[in-house]
Structure 1
Amino acid sequence: MTIDQEVDQELVDAAIALARARFPGQEWSGAAALRLDDGSVLTSIAPDFPNNAVRLCHETGAICEAFKLGRRVVASVCVTLADQGRGYWILAPCGVCQERLFAHGPDVAVAVPQGADPRHWRSLRLREVQPHWFGRVFPEDGWPY
């Protein structure tokens, strides 16, 4: 079986479906979807804690689940409901999630907004999103960690 190592519409739709199911009718919602090296898809959301300092990213739950399963992440997407419910925007992974995903190698595909409308997206490798990542100075360290 060939595993799609790009962010594709199936992955985006999985994240949107979770956001809609978990937060029906709310003004704000979001979720993430990750594809693993066996082709399976994990989805997760960010818990809402009263203290903003302990909040987590949408990707965190699925990244932890992949680790629990002993699987490698090959693609990741995060979505959030656009202003006034005009569809879902694609969010590039934050710096913390980039670090978490880099544990799976520099070729993990991530969705990033394309152009002025963040409802449009493209798939890039982490190495393209962050070409000066600090781990590149340690070439003896193999991927993935």
Structure 2
Amino acid sequence: MAVDQELVDAAIALARNRFGGTAWSGAAALRLDDGTVLTSTAPDFPNQAVSLCHETGALCEAFKLGRRVTGSVCVTAADGDRGYWILAPCGVCQERLFSHGPDVEVAVPEAADPRRWRALRLRDVQPHWWARVFPDTAWPFDGEG
């Protein structure tokens, strides 16, 4: 399984070490096809229009290494004493992850308790993804052209 508690813990560890539990701070962890775990976070910018997702740094690192992403998790520190919540990938991150194929696993929160999670494949998170109409699209997309 590409998304497991180890991957969740890696994202939480980065968020905790970098931000000390500050409310609504977060981080991401991605697993690569060789088992490597990459973590990243995103800075705050005065102009929110230039903000990045927490996954962006790790996605760029995977590309630099020439590796395929097989799993992704994003977390945020809830306010008060409510622990770390799992965030499903936003639409932009889903697009970025889809370049690694529709079987990339992502963590999604349980509705009753966002500290709990389950893994779904991108194809199940977004069953009507726009590029499905192009049957000749190569998976994963190599990003080279």
Specify the TM-score bucket, using the shorter chain as the normaliser: over 0.9
Match of 2:116 in 1: 120
Match of 1:129 in 2: 125
Distance 2:9 2:15 in 1: 10
Alignment counterpart, residue 75 of structure 2, candidates 47, 60, 79: 79
Q: Which runs of 5+ in 1 are unaligned?
A: none
TM-score normalized with structure 1 length: 0.94
Q: 1:25 deviation in Å? A: 4.6
Match of 2:134 in 1: 138
Q: Which runs of 5+ in 2 are unaligned?
A: none
Cα distance, 1:30–1:85 mapped onto 2, change above 3 Å? farther
Moved over 4 A (4+): none
Q: What is the root-mean-square deviation of aligned Cα atoms in Å?
A: 0.9
TM-score normalized with structure 2 length: 0.94
Alignment counterpart, residue 66 of structure 1, candidates 59, 62, 65: 62
Summarize deviations over 1:11-39 as a string: whole Å, max 9, x none. Answer: 00000000000001523320000000000
* Matched-pair contact (CA < 8 Å) for 2:22–2:77: no
Distance 2:70 2:32 in 1: 5
Query: Is 2:50 the partner of 1:54?
Result: yes
Q: Alignment identity in percent?
A: 79
Distance 2:91 2:21 in 1: 30
Summarize deviations over 1:96-128 as a string: whole Å, max 9, x none. Answer: 000000000000000001131100100000000
Cα distance, 1:79–1:25 mapped onto 2, change above 3 Å? closer
